[in-house]
A = this chain, B = another copy of it.
Amino acid sequence: MQKHKIKVAQFGLGPIGIESLKLAAAQSWLEVVGGVDIDPAKIGRTLAELTGEASLGGATVHPSLEALFAVATPDVILHTAGSSAATSFAQVRTALEAGVSVASTCEELIFPALKTPEATAEYDALCRRSGARVVGTGVNPGFVMDVLPITLTGVSRRVDSIYVERVVNASTRRQPLQAKIGSGQEPDAFRAKFAAGKAGHAGFQQSLALLAHAMGWTLEKIEETCEPVIAPGPITTKFFQVAKGQTCGLHQRAIGTVGGEAKIILDLQMFLDARNPHDTVVVQGDPALHLTLNGGVAGDSATVAALINIVPRLLAAAPGVRLMTELPTPSWVNPVSGR
């Protein structure tokens, strides 16, 4: 199907960036033309070396987009370098100015207008001038707690409220996630970290804001809480030793209110040894809808799938800062046919 391969470059070569490159290497419809990272230990090395994927050939790591653009002309930047919309926008400005589109796992880019409305308007205008698009995507945020429930309401006559519950068994996940959820910390220390904005799941309020936007609801407020889950006994993982009474995970909730009523509730539990991982969506309305993803969706490896799968849809979209809900239905892109 694909006449010309889509050229991509990877911005950010941490664990998610490496996963993104490995998946990109398996796509016959993609050509990886380079990488960008500020780590001096990575600059100048080949992507084949860093990933173990020989098919990535001689493409190398550059210290900046400017340096990359001096030798390569990507169509899309795959951006996996942080959670802040303001920082991410600034990081990819050179690409957007050059009319190069950006697909990002930056959590706040799921709904950037929530925290950075001025920057969102500014970059949207920039994209419209240059012909570039930028979108935030992923599994959570980006799918299970926002895009999936929104899609479900496509068959709704009336939506009264939306409840989404996600339970993740953190024992099966990477070290950074086990650290993020507070594994082994004293409960009060974890609470203090969340209060200081240094713990908790990023992009939670953005998922809620995207849901509200799609439902046409103007929220009066978003309230977010995060409590530690306390280990009922000692827990040992590949990365942590948690004693009874210490933190073994988090229970985060966000509630969006309209007219004094809780219209959207997001409930996220990520903890070690969770026995019943799942994602559940309850739409109250007509018809009532009750969806469960048994076992849930593992975020780590599926996040880069969401990132790669959005590339052709992003390139076909109108220029601007785009939301996932403005792009065609997400779906797997066949690595051979590119469709």
Chain B residue nearest to A142 in the complex (CB): B155
A214 to B333, CA, bound (A): 8
Chain B residue nearest to A156 in the complex (CB): B332
A306 surroundings in chain B (CB, below 8 A):
154-155
Contact B215 A332 (CB under 8 A): yes
A332 to B155, CA, bound (A): 7
A298 surroundings in chain B (CB, below 8 A):
287
Within 299-329 of A, Cβ neighbours of B (below 8 Å) are at: 301-306, 309-310, 324-329
Contact B157 A302 (CB under 8 A): yes
A204 surroundings in chain B (CB, below 8 A):
none
A326 surroundings in chain B (CB, below 8 A):
328
Contact A301 B286 (CB under 8 A): yes
Say yes or no for A127: interface residue by CB 8 A criterion.
no
Contact A157 B215 (CB under 8 A): no
Q: Using known A-B contacts A291-B292, A324-B329, A337-B216, determine if residue A301 contacts B157 with beta carbons closer than 8 Å.
A: yes
A335 surroundings in chain B (CB, below 8 A):
158
A305 surroundings in chain B (CB, below 8 A):
154-157
A23 surroundings in chain B (CB, below 8 A):
157
Say yes or no for A289: interface residue by CB 8 A criterion.
yes
Q: Using known A-B contacts A154-B309, A157-B305, determine if residue A216 contacts B329 with beta carbons closer than 8 Å.
A: no
Say yes or no for A151: interface residue by CB 8 A criterion.
yes
Contact A153 B328 (CB under 8 A): no
Say yes or no for A95: interface residue by CB 8 A criterion.
no
Q: How large is the interface on A (under 10, 10 to 19, 20 to 34, 35 or more residues)?
A: 35 or more
Q: Using known A-B contacts A287-B302, A301-B287, A302-B155, determine if residue A329 contacts B327 with beta carbons closer than 8 Å.
A: yes
Within 9-30 of A, Cβ neighbours of B (below 8 Å) are at: 23
A99-117 interface bits toward B, Cβ cutoff 8 Å, 1 = contact, 0 = none? 0000000000000000000
Contact A151 B151 (CB under 8 A): yes
Pick the contact of A291: B139, B150, B291 (CB < 8 A): B291
A309 surroundings in chain B (CB, below 8 A):
153-156
Pick the contact of A143: B150, B154, B334 (CB < 8 A): B154
A303 surroundings in chain B (CB, below 8 A):
155
Within 151-182 of A, Cβ neighbours of B (below 8 Å) are at: 151-159
Chain B residue nearest to A307 in the complex (CB): B155
Contact B289 A292 (CB under 8 A): no
A336 surroundings in chain B (CB, below 8 A):
216
Say yes or no for A293: interface residue by CB 8 A criterion.
yes
Contact B330 A151 (CB under 8 A): yes
Say yes or no for A5: interface residue by CB 8 A criterion.
no
Q: Using known A-B contacts A155-B139, A325-B328, determine if residue A294 contacts B290 with beta carbons closer than 8 Å.
A: yes
Chain B residue nearest to A324 in the complex (CB): B329
Say yes or no for A1: interface residue by CB 8 A criterion.
yes
Pick the contact of A151: B216, B287, B292, B329 (CB < 8 A): B329
16 A-B pairs with CB atoms under 8 Å apart are A139-B155, A148-B151, A150-B331, A151-B329, A153-B309, A155-B305, A155-B306, A156-B302, A215-B334, A216-B333, A287-B297, A289-B293, A290-B294, A291-B293, A325-B328, A325-B331
